[in-house]
């Protein structure tokens, strides 16, 4: 038994099944991994098998980075207490965050997680505007506490989810590939950013009491690695502010240099939010997060006379770790690495579309990449089961960890630690190419086994109603049963 393993995997599973709530789900539920050690961009199971981690945007500067471990250990051995005492690590962390923010974003509140950060951001926005209504994006996820579950369609739209509150308004996700306004439905050069921004404007105009805030991930992750069209956020921010609301940028998954070109993912859009929330990568696995806002909004929040108190938010250990993470990003030029390696990875992934019909769209920036799998490129029908099969085969055959997400769970996501290099990219590409080859061969074999005249599945028309759209009602060609149903294929894997 490995020295890092306290008990056999079978006993771990038994205890988990007995004492951990069933709603606490694992990756790879049919054959879960027991990870006992991590280093850099790799994780190791109880048998010593090494896995390439392409999924872990929490271990931002790499698992168990020695400088982060040393900073946390040193501070833990010195002092760990609540944040109501003066401490240098807290004010240095706030200073660094403020220096890395544009504009007048200079006041910080420290929390333990992204959920807490977004919950507090809503409180700040509502106090500043004296309003309550919020605009969120479809498929968005902003956390697990009650207030942010209310603004997370990714959760409340699931079967069994609580109904959407009346004060929450859902705007279409600005997905130009399979969203409400698709690039294929409009003439080249159409301003799709404007079309999606108009949806937000209409919500603002219908608001009965006025909008307190618009909240959005700068790049939507759970929604399927979405890159908003040019100009979208600028137009939305203008509309929200003209109506007296404030803007919240959720950087919990995409901040701290991941996109390569900038430190924060909202920066390429040419916008400066009123409130920014950060967490996950900030602590490299340690629970720490923050809300950064302007002095004006902070003053509105203070004017209530109700103090903000978070026992562990901003404690010396958390801030020491966050400070170390930000130093490592700068010293090891990990943002530059994300730009260089991400560009190579994205270009190589795009080349897969010339080899495999399953690859419908490839999008991303830096070490934030999504590969959308489809059955038919014209119809853009999601290949959900295929995506799940790819994720499973990447783990079992190639020992590469990826995940799938999006409204139809057909987007293979990559958000690896920032130390991910070109050799790692090549390893991923080799494994991914083998998976697609295997799946396409299985499809061909199934087609050959079917009757000479395959059963035809009627295609569902795609109705395009916007006046700028040239397609009207698109009537795609019927597809074969083999293309439509991959359940037999998946069972054979």
Q: What tokens appear for 477 in the block?
A: 């060609």
User: Higher model confidence: residue 284 or residue 57?
Assistant: 284
Q: What percent of the chain is modeled with pLDDT above 70?
A: 90
Is residue 96's pLDDT more than 70?
yes
If one counts every other C-beta atom within 10 angstroms of the C-beta of residue 34, the result is: 17
Q: What percent of the chain is modeled with pLDDT above 90?
A: 77
The Cα 50–Cα 346 span in angstroms is 24
User: Higher model confidence: residue 323 or residue 470?
Assistant: 323
The Cα 491–Cα 493 span in angstroms is 6
Which range has the worst mean pLDDT, 143-152, 331-340, 431-440?
Answer: 143-152
The Cα 129–Cα 106 span in angstroms is 19
The Cα 368–Cα 223 span in angstroms is 13
Alpha-carbon radius of gyration of the chain: 23
Predicted confidence (pLDDT) per residue in 47-58, tens digit: 999 999 999 989
The Cα 229–Cα 49 span in angstroms is 41
- pLDDT, residue 262, reads 98
The Cα 223–Cα 405 span in angstroms is 7
Predicted confidence (pLDDT) per residue in 367-424, tens digit: 999 999 999 999 999 999 999 999 999 999 999 999 999 999 999 999 999 999 999 9
Residue 246 contacts residue 274 (beta carbons within 8 Å) = yes
The Cα-based distances of 426 to 44, 208, 254, 334, 348 in angstroms read 20, 53, 23, 19, 9
The rounded mean pLDDT for the chain is 90
Q: What SS3 class is residue 232?
A: helix
Q: What SS3 class is residue 470?
A: coil
Residue 486's pLDDT band (cuts 50, 70, 90)? very low
The Cα 25–Cα 100 span in angstroms is 35
Average pLDDT over residues 287-316: 94
- pLDDT, residue 461, reads 47
Q: Which residues contact 127 (CB under 8 A, 6 or more apart)?
A: 300, 301, 303, 304
Q: Which residues contact 3 (CB under 8 A, 6 or more apart)?
A: none
Predicted confidence (pLDDT) per residue in 453-465, tens digit: 555 545 444 445 5
The Cα-based distances of 303 to 93, 113, 297, 298 in angstroms read 25, 25, 10, 9
Map tokens 């509150």 to a residue.
Answer: 165
Is residue 227's pLDDT more than 60?
yes
Q: Report the run of H or E that residue 492 belongs to, with start and end.
A: none
Task: For residue 175, report the phi and psi dihedrals to the nearest 5 degrees.
Answer: -100, 110
- pLDDT, residue 84, reads 87
Average pLDDT over residues 15-34: 89
Q: Which residues contact 387 (CB under 8 A, 6 or more apart)?
A: 373, 404, 409, 410, 411, 412
* 392-404 core/surface letters (b: 16 or more CB in 10 A; e: else): bbbbeebbbbbbb
Is residue 476's pLDDT more than 80?
no
Is residue 187's pLDDT more than 60?
yes
Q: What tokens appear for 339 in the block?
A: 């730009």
Q: What tokens appear for 94 in the block?
A: 């706030």
Average pLDDT over residues 94-104: 98
Predicted confidence (pLDDT) per residue in 338-381, tens digit: 999 999 999 999 999 999 999 999 999 999 999 999 999 999 99
Is residue 1's pLDDT more than 50?
no
- pLDDT, residue 470, reads 55
Of 147-156, 184-193, 440-449, where does the model show the most confidence? 184-193
Is residue 473's pLDDT more than 50?
no
Average pLDDT over residues 469-488: 46
Terminal C-alpha separation, the chain: 30
The Cα 199–Cα 174 span in angstroms is 10
> Does the predicted TM-score (pTM) go above 0.85?
yes
Pairing of strands 275-278, 289-293: antiparallel
- pLDDT, residue 456, reads 53
Q: Report the run of H or E that residue 291 belongs to, with start and end.
A: strand 289-293
* Cα three-residue angle 128-133-134, rounded to 5 degrees: 90
DSSP per-residue string spanning 157-220? TSTTPPPPPTTEEEEPP--TTTSSS-GGGS-TT--HHHHHHHHHHHHHHH-SS-EEEEEEESSB
Residue 442's pLDDT band (cuts 50, 70, 90)? confident
Is residue 264's pLDDT more than 90?
yes
The Cα-based distances of 110 to 160, 280, 286, 374 in angstroms read 33, 13, 13, 42
Q: Which residues contact 396 (CB under 8 A, 6 or more apart)?
A: 31
Of 78-82, 245-249, 460-464, where does the model show the most confidence? 245-249
Q: Which residues contact 384 (CB under 8 A, 6 or more apart)?
A: 408, 409, 410
- pLDDT, residue 443, reads 78
Residue 310 contacts residue 117 (beta carbons within 8 Å) = no
């Amino acid at each position: 038994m490995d020295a890092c393993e306290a008990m056999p995997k079978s006993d771990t599973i038994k205890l988990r099944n007995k004492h951990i709530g069933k709603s606490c789900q694992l990756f790879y539920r049919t054959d879960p991994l027991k990870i006992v050690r991590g280093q850099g961009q790799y994780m190791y199971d109880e048998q010593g098998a090494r896995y390439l981690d392409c999924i872990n945007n929490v271990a931002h500067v790499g698992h168990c980075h020695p400088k982060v471990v040393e900073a946390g250990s040193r501070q833990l051995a010195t002092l760990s207490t609540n944040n109501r005492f003066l401490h240098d690590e807290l004010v240095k962390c706030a200073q660094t965050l403020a220096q890395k923010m544009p504009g007048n974003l200079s006041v910080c509140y420290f929390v333990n997680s992204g959920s807490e950060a977004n919950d507090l951001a809503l409180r700040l926005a509502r106090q500043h505007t004296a309003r309550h209504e919020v605009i969120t994006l479809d498929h968005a996820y902003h956390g697990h506490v009650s207030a942010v579950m209310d603004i997370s369609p990714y959760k409340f739209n699931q079967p069994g989810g609580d109904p959407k509150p009346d004060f929450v308004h859902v705007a279409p996700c600005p997905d130009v590939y399979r969203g409400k306004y698709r690039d294929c439905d409009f003439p080249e050069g159409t301003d799709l950013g404007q079309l999606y921004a108009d949806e937000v404007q209409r919500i603002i105009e219908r608001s009965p009491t006025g909008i307190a805030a618009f909240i959005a991930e700068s790049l939507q992750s759970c929604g399927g690695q979405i890159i908003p069209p040019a100009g979208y956020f600028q137009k939305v921010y203008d509309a929200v502010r003209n109506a007296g609301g404030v803007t919240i940028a959720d950087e919990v998954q995409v901040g701290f240099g991941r996109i390569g070109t900038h430190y924060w993912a909202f920066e390429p859009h040419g916008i400066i939010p009123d409130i920014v929330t950060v967490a996950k990568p900030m602590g490299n696995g340690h629970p720490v997060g923050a809300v950064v806002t302007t002095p004006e909004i902070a003053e509105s929040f203070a004017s209530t006379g109700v103090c903000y108190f978070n026992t562990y938010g901003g404690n010396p250990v958390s801030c020491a770790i966050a400070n170390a993470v930000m130093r490592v990003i700068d010293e090891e030029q990990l943002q530059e690495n994300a730009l260089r390696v991400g560009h190579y990875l994205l270009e190589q992934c795009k080349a897969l579309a010339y080899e495999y019909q399953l690859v419908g769209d490839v999008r991303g920036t830096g070490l934030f990449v999504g590969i959308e799998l489809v059955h038919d490129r014209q119809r853009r029908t999601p290949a959900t089961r295929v995506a799940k099969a790819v994720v499973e085969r990447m783990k079992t055959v190639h020992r590469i960890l990826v995940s799938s997400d999006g409204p139809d769970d057909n987007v293979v996501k990559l958000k690896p630690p920032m130390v991910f290099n070109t050799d790692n990219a090549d390893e991923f590409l080799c494994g991914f190419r083998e998976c697609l080859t295997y799946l396409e061969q299985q499809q061909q074999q199934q087609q050959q086994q079917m009757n000479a005249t395959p059963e035809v599945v009627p295609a569902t028309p795609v109705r395009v109603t916007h006046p700028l759209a040239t397609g009207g009602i698109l009537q795609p060609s019927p597809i074969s049963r083999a293309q439509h149903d991959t359940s037999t294929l998946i069972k054979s894997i």
